[in-house]
Amino acid sequence: QQPVQSPQAVILREGEDAVINCSSSKALYSVHWYRQKHGEAPVFLMILLKGGEQKGHEKISASFNEKKQQSSLYLTASQLSYSGTYFCGTEKEETSGSRLTFGEGTQLTVNP
C-alpha cells in the first residue's frame, strides 16, 4: 500500500524551514527519501532504518517514528536548490513484495 505524503505542495522563501511527512499503514523496515528535479532522476537524500540507524547527507535531517510508522524530513534554512519533488519510499518488514513503494510526492518550491 502506497505511503501518504503531506503536504502535497509547499512554497517557501529562501531561508525558511519546511517539514514533509510520510505515513504508512504497514509495519516498515525502512524509509528512503529522494528529491527529483524536473526531467532528472531521483537523487538519494536519506535512509532511515527500523532501530534508529540513519544514513544520508549531513545537511538533511529526518526522523522515523516506528510506533506511528511515520517519517518526517526536515529542510532548514532552505535554498533555491532545494526546489523539486520529494518522494518517500517505504520498505515493508516482509521480505517479499515491492522493493520500495513510493508516495505521490511533495512539490517544494523555494523562491528568492
* Closer to another protein by Cβ: residue 11 or 43: 43
Tell me which of 60, 83, 102, 107 binds another protein, using CB under 8 A: 102
Residue 84 within binding range of another protein, rule CB under 8 A: no
Tell me which of 4, 29, 63, 107 binds another protein, using CB under 8 A: 29
Which phi and psi (to 5°) does residue 36 adopt?
Answer: -125, 125
Which residues lie below 8 Å from residue 91, measured CB to CB, with a gap of 6+?
28, 29, 30, 31, 32, 99, 100, 101
Tell me which of 13, 38, 41, 58 binds another protein, using CB under 8 A: 41
Q: Which set of grid coordinates corresponds to residue 68?
A: 506511528
DSSP secondary structure letter of residue 81? G
* Closer to another protein by Cβ: residue 21 or 29: 29
Calpha distance 78→74 (Å, rounded): 10
Where does this chain bind another protein (CB under 8 A)? 2, 29-30, 32, 34, 40-44, 47, 55, 87, 89, 91, 96-105
